[in-house]
Structure 1
Amino acid sequence: MTELAAVKAALKTQAVETPSWAYGNSGTRFKVFAQAGVPRNPYEKLDDAAKVHEFTGVAPTVALHIPWDKVDDYAALAKHAEQRGVKLGAINSNTFQDDDYKLGSICHPEASVRRKAVDHLLECVDIMDATGSGDLKLWFADGTNYPGQDDIRARQDRLAEGLAEVYDRLGDGQRMLLEYKFFEPAFYSTDVPDWGTAYAHCLKLGPKAQVVVDTGHHAPGTNIEFIVATLLREGKLGGFDFNSRFYADDDLMVGAADPFQLFRIMYEVVRGGGFSPEVAFMLDQCHNIE
């Protein structure tokens, strides 16, 4: 096989999981701009996703977001996806929009708020069971805005306790994927700010918990490929959110400002066995493009 043929064959093994919210209205941090023809419900989002897969051949799964994609019958939604030629992928939780979460969700100082957040995560696992999804995707906006607002160590204890309860609820073949963000939105301390914090919690939880690397959520100058190589080496790289940063979080599409960085990251994925059968799920089931 020639080198070009080998490259083409390798590229054909990749699959990108698109998020349902990518098919909705888009905008900036200050305004969402309405567009004609935008899907009105999860079923229409899947219709658009199916058309993307039809044209590209590399987007066979769609990640859902709860509660944005709530429906009465998730099994029927999964059947609709299959009828359109795609499947449902990761289930993304939302613990950052309710007023109760002003001081955090799973790390909140009040037990009643933590209970509400954990119950939502458990609901997401129920949805995974109904849709056949294998991945629970978690990102927490939890943090503090000034020193002394809360106990930093206690918040980590609460985080560990809540994650453990949800982890124990996972079934066979299901995973918990924990994402980190460098600073968004907390000003002083963010409860899952980096790959080390996410890795520490996933390591304690067990083999079903893995880290999600968002290529748009790091401090300037961060060697993301080093993070990727290390997590792969430890068997803890669960997937990617492919974004890019120039000034701050997620301000550009992946590779827009530094395409060589994306090459360096993918080089470590390949070198670390990312295309081997044992870890191919990491690429095939978990890519979100935001």
Structure 2
Amino acid sequence: MKFTIDVLGIFLKIVVRVNKVTFAPLVVSTLFILLTSLLAHCARRLVQRVVKEPFLRVLLEEAIAAAELCGCCFELIIVADNFGVSTYAIFLFALTIWWSMNWGRPPPAPTRIWRKSLKSPTIPGKGDIRKALLKTWAELTGGLLVFKYVQMYWALEISETHKDRAFEDCKADLQVPVLYGAVVEGVATCMCRLASKSLGDLNPRFASAIDSFIGTSLVVAAFDYSGGYFNPVLATSLKAGCDGHTLLEHALVYWLGACAGSVLSVYIYKLPAIQKLVKGSSEANGDSIWAEKED
């Protein structure tokens, strides 16, 4: 706790000084993202040292990763609103590479959890379903609780870009009819998964950077339609209950759409044409995206 308080104190001193001297709100956002990643990294290492029960450790790691993901993406909203989608894309690209190296597991997302259950050689039993539900609950908990941390920081209004943002009413990113939004989220999620799986099997050099570039490009492409979340937990943390759509519409677009796209990617990837394309490619060198980690 003392370490966290000391880090926060140093962080605030740096932020205030930078803001007064250079009036650089983008630097303020960058430092907040760095602080969020640092705190999550420390929490993850603490859990790995203290918690001995494997499944409980997994649940806590899922919650921490979801909190880090959503906390950083809350600040990326500020970046996008004030500095444009291009700057947002650069930040997202760098963060995606960082997460792929630091998390030690694929991104926290219910789409991954339930997709993995479908890939099991046997029909998932009650134990598998219970674990999937608990993992989903852990991710949602981390993603929803982190807003209090973000809100506390925004309320300080260190930068002009944070003025009145802590308690303002949020607006939904869905700019198209619900059905179209669900299709956008589903198709883009499916494409992301196919690209990641292909890169993981082909194992090219700089696979993580390539995967990050593809994912970021798809997010930018969907930005003005559905917001480009491709992750139900992230969408729920950032936009559930916002003006512009009902909770049911939100669920249809960001849960049903994304999960359907993720599941569809499993079956598309098994098609003979896709397998022939992947297996027929020449073997390449380099590190895989999630080397020796679960999909």
Q: Which has the higher contact order (CA 8 A, sep 6+)?
A: 2
TM-score of the two chains, using structure 2 as the length reference? 0.29
Structure with greater strand share of residues: 1
Is the helix fraction higher in 1 or 2? Answer: 2
